[in-house]
């Protein structure tokens, strides 16, 4: 009824009394509001309420009432009520005013804000944070895509830095169950009423028992459209494990992209059939060439397209007519080049749709699958080992370039580049790669997400079984948005992504180095089951730094049992006093380290190890450390100056022990693994 009236009056902003009516119909407790049309009515309402009141302007033209001087607080007698009423009317004489709200003054409580805004990618998202300076200056807030349940509401509450104030501080605490119920009711309301585009409940006062919504603002928008369903085939097994590949634009001239792609397939010994397509060549790399794909006498699973953007639609049409179900367009010159390129992309989508053909790219570097000896990269790729890591990257050349160095210390199973994501997007590829039994860990480089809510749902399913580490770049300046609600003004692209990744169980990386550091740790070592860390070092300073890093990363130093302490003390030189960190002060050797680790393995409180090793004798540790039965407890090696001992570092990495440059990197990786297990695998909520 309220929204029908607003629609008839062609306004999007619901005034406070209208917003609170909608909330109260949902069972949400507010301070209420009674509208006065005159000073006498305002005084009468004051007498009925029997206590201090607040007066607020009600106008479809005034959204930010406090900023405009339309709020009078803590009024305690009739004369003040009449005076405040007249002052408000006089201040807003040049705009439409429907009345003045008179409402009870809520007793003070812990102040929070709950808001909703629409994200261009994920649809409606909720924001939660402490009120006042915490939200205005510190921006201590959390986000989740809607709908949410009680567990996600709890996670949002625990995520903000100020959540300890809600749990109880100096005799003041909040009713957390009531707050969670409120957040879920707001979520339910927004999902039931998709016209709600923005909402601010600000402030909400929390009490030891219950809460009150003191002020409310709702902005209406167009009814949200249903999220699109996935397009076409979602299996992708023949895309990742094709039995035949045609390279359209294959070249016999060394250095050309068509040479690189075809040579990669040949030199990596692709086990399926290869068909170079080039009208001016009889053979390429000793393999019979065909003028067009239509001339190939056998079915083709995947066609790789390396022709100019303008001719790509014709080639795509021919592929579809030949029954090709997967087309990989590695050519550039499409949407990234402007409107002309976008038109070509739209034409390709129109062509593939009726055939049920799926398209990867354009502007990508294809797929590498070491388990099928398939390398489609446009850059020459050296020998690769079969591995358990899946890498999904929006930047094709960057992903391929990374392999040159990373292949020595990390084993990739699938590297999938998605480019412009015209059809197959990051969500499709995440789902496909996660189903591969050879892949245990997935990392993603993303500049954007096209999958929307489906991305969250798919990622949540994947992360229950396999860790996903994501690096998101391309931050958006939230100030460029035209917004009316406080929530929308705070909903920066990057903050929303952080909330979405956490909601989906994704571990977010800070930069490329961080992403690959986490990925190699997750891929080489088991997840720690305890938060106790045992540190072994040859230098006291590095031990202290390690201990600080462990604490900073929400972990703790393990405490050995009395019998294990006695075992350790028999090993230690007389001048060594600490039992964790254990500092051998340059008397450390491989045998001593191994015996110390074995004591930690026997300890119930030790969940993981940080072992600080000397770069100059690193090679002596590789074989002894690789022989230890760690019984499911991960070990991270810290080698200061490791870049000067890369041969030994590579040997250590290939033995399955990740090597980092600093104690902070070791502690960060262990913490990420422990909290992933606790939060996602075991479902125990926030650390």
For residue 7, pLDDT over 70 is answered with yes
> So what's the pLDDT on residue 478?
40
* Tokens 């997750």, residue located: 522
For residue 67, pLDDT over 90 is answered with no
> So what's the pLDDT on residue 481?
44
Please tell me which of 215-229, 472-486, 636-650 the model is most confident about, judged by mean pLDDT: 636-650
What would the two tokens of residue 525 be?
């070592």
Looking at the structure, give the CATH architecture of the domain made up of residues 110-220. Answer: 2-Layer Sandwich (3.30)
> So what's the pLDDT on residue 485?
54
The SS3 of residue 603 is: coil
When pLDDT is averaged across residues 403-420 and rounded to a whole number, the result is: 89
| DSSP H helices in 168-274 | 176-192, 237-240, 257-267
Confidence of residue 227 (pLDDT cuts 50, 70, 90): low
Residues 6+ apart with CB under 8 A from 359: 316, 326, 327, 328, 329, 348, 349, 352, 422, 423, 424
Residues 6+ apart with CB under 8 A from 482: none
Name the residue ranges covered by the structural domains of the chain. 32-104, 110-220, 237-439, 526-681
> So what's the pLDDT on residue 6?
82
Residues 6+ apart with CB under 8 A from 272: 242, 243, 244, 245, 301, 372, 374
Q: Which 8-state DSSP code applies to residue 644?
A: G
297-334 per-position pLDDT tens digit: 999 999 999 999 999 999 999 999 999 999 999 998 99
238-257 per-position pLDDT tens digit: 999 999 999 999 999 999 99
Closest of 608, 620, 617 to residue 640, by C-alpha = 617
**What percent of the chain shows pLDDT beyond 70?**
94
346-383 per-position pLDDT tens digit: 999 999 999 999 999 999 999 999 999 999 999 889 88
Confidence of residue 578 (pLDDT cuts 50, 70, 90): confident
> So what's the pLDDT on residue 482?
40
Pick the more confident residue, 149 or 136: 149
What CATH code would you report for 32-104?
Answer: 3.30.1490.20
CA distance 85 to 70: 10
Q: Are the folds of 237-439 and 526-681 the same?
A: yes
Pick the more confident residue, 461 or 235: 461
When pLDDT is averaged across residues 646-674 and rounded to a whole number, the result is: 97
For residue 434, pLDDT over 60 is answered with yes
Q: Which 8-state DSSP code applies to residue 424?
A: S
- Read off φ and ψ for residue 323, nearest 5 degrees: 90, 10
When pLDDT is averaged across residues 438-455 and rounded to a whole number, the result is: 92
How high is the mean pLDDT of the chain? 91
> So what's the pLDDT on residue 483?
41
Region of 107 (left: φ > 0; alpha: ψ -120 to 50; beta: rest) is beta
Query: Could you tell me the CATH superfamily of domain 237-439?
Result: NAD(P)-binding Rossmann-like Domain (3.40.50.720)
Pick the more confident residue, 582 or 578: 582
378-408 per-position pLDDT tens digit: 988 988 999 999 999 987 656 666 777 788 8
Question: Which CATH number is correct for 526-681, 3.30.43.10, 2.20.25.90, 3.40.50.261, 3.40.1180.10?
Answer: 3.40.50.261
């Amino acid at each position: 009824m309220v929204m029908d009236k607003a629609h008839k009056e062609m306004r999007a902003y619901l005034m406070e009394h209208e917003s609170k009516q909608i909330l109260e119909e949902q069972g949400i407790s507010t301070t209420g509001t009674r509208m006065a049309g005159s000073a006498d009515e305002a005084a009468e309402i004051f007498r009925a309420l029997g206590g201090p009141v607040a007066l607020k302007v009600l106008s479809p033209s005034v959204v930010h009432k406090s900023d405009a001087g339309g709020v009078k607080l803590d009024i305690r007698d009739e004369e003040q009520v009449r005076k405040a009423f007249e002052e408000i009317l006089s201040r807003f004489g040049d705009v439409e005013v429907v009345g003045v709200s008179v409402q009870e003054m809520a007793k003070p409580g812990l102040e929070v804000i709950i808001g909703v805004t629409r994200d261009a990618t994920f649809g409606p998202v909720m924001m939660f944070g402490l009120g006042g300076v915490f939200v205005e200056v510190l921006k201590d807030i959390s986000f989740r895509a809607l709908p949410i349940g009680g567990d996600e509401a709890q996670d949002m509450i625990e995520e903000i830095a100020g959540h300890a104030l809600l749990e109880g501080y100096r005799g003041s605490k909040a009713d957390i169950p009531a707050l969670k119920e409120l957040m879920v009711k707001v979520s339910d309301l927004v999902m039931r009423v998709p016209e709600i585009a923005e909402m601010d409940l600000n402030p909400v006062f929390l009490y030891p028992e219950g809460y009150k919504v003191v002020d409310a603002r709702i902005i209406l928008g167009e009814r949200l459209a249903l999220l699109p369903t996935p397009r076409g085939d979602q299996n992708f097994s023949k895309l990742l494990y094709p039995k035949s590949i045609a390279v359209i634009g294959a070249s016999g001239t060394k250095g050309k992209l068509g040479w690189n792609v075809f040579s990669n397939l040949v030199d990596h010994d692709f086990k399926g059939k290869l068909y170079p397509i080039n009208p001016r060549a009889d053979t390429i790399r000793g393999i019979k060439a065909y003028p067009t794909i239509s001339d190939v006498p056998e079915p083709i699973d995947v066609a790789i397209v390396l022709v100019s953007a303008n001719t790509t639609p014709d080639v795509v049409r021919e592929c579809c007519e030949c029954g090709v179900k997967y087309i990989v367009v590695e050519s550039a010159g499409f949407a990234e080049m402007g409107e002309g390129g976008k038109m070509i992309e739209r034409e390709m989508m129109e062509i593939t749709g009726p055939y049920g053909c799926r398209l990867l790219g354009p502007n990508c570097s294809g797929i590498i699958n070491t388990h099928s000896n398939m390398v489609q990269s446009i850059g020459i790729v050296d020998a690769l080992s079969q591995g358990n890591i899946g890498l999904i990257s929006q930047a094709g050349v960057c992903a391929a370039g990374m392999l040159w160095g990373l292949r020595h210390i990390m084993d990739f199973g699938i590297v999938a580049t998605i480019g412009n994501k015209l059809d197959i997007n990051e969500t499709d590829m995440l789902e496909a790669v996660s189903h591969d039994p050879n892949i245990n860990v997935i990392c993603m480089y993303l500049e954007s997400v096209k999958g929307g809510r489906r991305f969250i749902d798919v990622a949540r399913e994947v992360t229950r079984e396999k860790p996903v580490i994501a690096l998101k770049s391309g931050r958006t300046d939230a100030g460029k948005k035209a917004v009316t609600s406080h929530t929308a003004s705070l909903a920066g692209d990057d903050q929303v992504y952080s909330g979405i990744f956490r909601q989906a169980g994704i571990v977010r990386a800070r930069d490329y180095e961080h992403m690959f550091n986490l990925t190699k740790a997750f891929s080489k070592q088991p997840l720690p089951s305890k938060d106790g860390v045992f540190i072994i070092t040859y230098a006291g300073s590095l031990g202290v730094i390690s201990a600080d890093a462990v604490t900073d990363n929400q972990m703790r130093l393990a405490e050995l049992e009395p019998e294990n302490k006695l075992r350790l003390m028999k090993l230690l030189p007389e001048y060594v006093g600490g039992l964790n960190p254990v500092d051998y002060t340059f008397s450390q050797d491989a045998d001593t380290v191994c015996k110390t680790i074995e004591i930690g393995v026997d300890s119930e409180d030790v969940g993981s190890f940080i072992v600080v090793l000397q770069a100059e004798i690193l090679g002596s540790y590789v074989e002894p450390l690789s022989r230890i039965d760690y019984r499911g407890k991960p070990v991270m090696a810290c080698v200061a100056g490791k870049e000067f001992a890369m041969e030994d570092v590579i040997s250590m990495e290939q033995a399955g022990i990740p090597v980092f440059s600093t104690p902070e990197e070791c502690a960060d990786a262990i913490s990420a693994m422990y909290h992933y297990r606790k939060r996602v695998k075991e479902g125990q909520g926030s650390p």
